[in-house]
Amino acid sequence: MAEKVVLAYSGGLDTSVAIKWLKEKYSLDVIAVTIDVGNERDFTAVRQKALDAGAIKALVIDAKELFVKYFIFPALQADAIYEGQYPLGTALSRPLMAKLLVDTALDEDASAIAHGCTGKGNDQVRFEVSINALAPDLKIIAPAREWDMTREETINYAEQHNIPIPITVSSPYSIDECLWGKSIECGALEDPWVEPPEDAYTWTKSPDQAPDKPQYVEIGFEKGIPVSIDGENLDGIALIQQLNEMAGKHGIGRIDHIENRLVGIKSREIYEAPAATVLLQAHQALEAMTLAKDQLRFKQKVAQEYADLIYNGLWFSQLNRDLSTYILSTQRYVTGTVRMKLFKGNSSVVGRKAPKSLYNLSLATYEKGDQFDQSASAGFIHLWGLPIRTQAKVQLLADKEGPLSIMEAKNPGGKIE
């Protein structure tokens, strides 16, 4: 009997061709595994396509619940956003897929795992680093990195081998979707000067086509996890789906990013992430109410580390464990409700409340009931400014360079009559 390989199967051209190619080149029987992370497809058809292309077995795994609980929500609690722009949908899904591929390979007694990534992207790194960490003895094969065929040659190969060519081949873009967002690249998008054509977007309305009236939505959080929309409790999957739709209608969540890939190149990536955009914003607004200044400052650094770790394929590291322990600890009081206004491509925070809020009206108010002791400020300023006064006397006032050099130029901005 031939040895078996578990293939991460998307239903697209490359992975369909890979089924035959793995048999021809390596004499391996292919078990196709398609993982549903919320990419709304007809999975029955995808499964059938794998069998038609010659897979000996085709499995579809619904991983949405795992994805939300173990990947999306921890990333949301962390406020993980890569380079200030990308909410990391694709990047978060890869370690989960790797885990499920490994489980299947062990169950099915396969000797290898194959994926359809090219040699230029981040996903190959995320898959392989994760698979190697979880099952160091499994071989990894990356057909699209090995076979050296152009897109056209791949289509020819499919035709010659009677592999049904997916209609998606007509799409000029390379697309990856999950609950946390859609990633779009290639085609016209490769020119960073070109505005993304409207057909690149399918999850979001163009902001100028969006409704002329704003929509308000209240999102309830418990310990940093969103649990309700407008007072109605929802499970994570439904909540994210509902927000993707609602915010997408208002044109929210379009992201145009010149991104630094792990493999060293800059690439132009378009994302549609309506739910992620709204939830990250709302979550941060609630943290602003419930975390102290120092906690917020420190957590921002952790958020960046965490985003890099996710992006760079290091999910199964102990650093993840260390950082997520810290992040969870910060979420203890991040409970409350945030009101968002969705309008013409923008979501804005317009209200927030939390039972353990640190915002104290009687300290902040300029109206009656002010409990802030304003007379104490004079002494505070005296001590706060002490190091500056000391330094100015000894160094600054005698120094012609540095912050005082501006004084050298008389009337630097010209005289205003």
> Contact positions toward ligand ARG, by CB under 6 A?
90-91, 122-123, 174-176, 183, 185, 259, 269
- From 29, 79, 123, 176, the catalytic residue: 123
**Smallest separation (angstroms) from ligand ARG to the CB of 122:** 4
- From 94, 126, 254, 268, the catalytic residue: 94
Which segments of 356-412 does DSSP mark as H helices, in order?
A: 361-364, 376-384, 386-394
**Coil, strand, or helix at residue 211?**
coil
Residue (175 or 227) nearer to ligand ARG, CB: 175
- From 10, 14, 16, 79, the catalytic residue: 14
Cβ neighbours of 416 (radius 10 Å): 5
Catalytic residue flag (residue 174): yes
Catalytic residue flag (residue 94): yes
Cα–Cα nearest to 334, from 76, 87, 72 = 76
Cα pseudo-dihedral 315, 320, 325, 331, rounded to 10 = -60
> Is the separation of the CB atoms in 88 and 75 below 8 Å?
yes
**Smallest separation (angstroms) from ligand ARG to the CB of 280:** 16
**Smallest separation (angstroms) from ligand ARG to the CB of 259:** 6
CA distances from 105 to 20, 101, 102, 333, 393 (A): 19, 6, 5, 41, 72
Cα–Cα nearest to 111, from 140, 143, 142, 138 = 138
**Smallest separation (angstroms) from ligand ARG to the CB of 144:** 11
Residue (82 or 333) nearer to ligand ARG, CB: 82
What distance in Å separates the CA atoms of residue 312 and residue 318, rounded to the nearest whole number?
A: 14
Please enumerate, as own/partner, the contacts of 211-214 that have beta carbons within 8 Å and a separation of 24 or more. 211/249, 211/250, 213/343, 214/250, 214/341, 214/342, 214/343
- 123 Cβ contact list (under 8 Å, min separation 6): 90, 94, 115, 117, 176
Residue (249 or 257) nearer to ligand ARG, CB: 257
Residue (60 or 175) nearer to ligand ARG, CB: 175
**Smallest separation (angstroms) from ligand ARG to the CB of 253:** 15
- From 111, 174, 228, 357, the catalytic residue: 174
Residue (79 or 269) nearer to ligand ARG, CB: 269
Catalytic residue flag (residue 228): no
Which segments of 260-368 does DSSP mark as H helices, in order?
A: 274-290, 293-311, 318-330, 361-364
Amino acid of residue 212: D
Residue (140 or 175) nearer to ligand ARG, CB: 175
**Smallest separation (angstroms) from ligand ARG to the CB of 262:** 8
Q: Point out the residues that are catalytic.
A: 14, 94, 123, 174
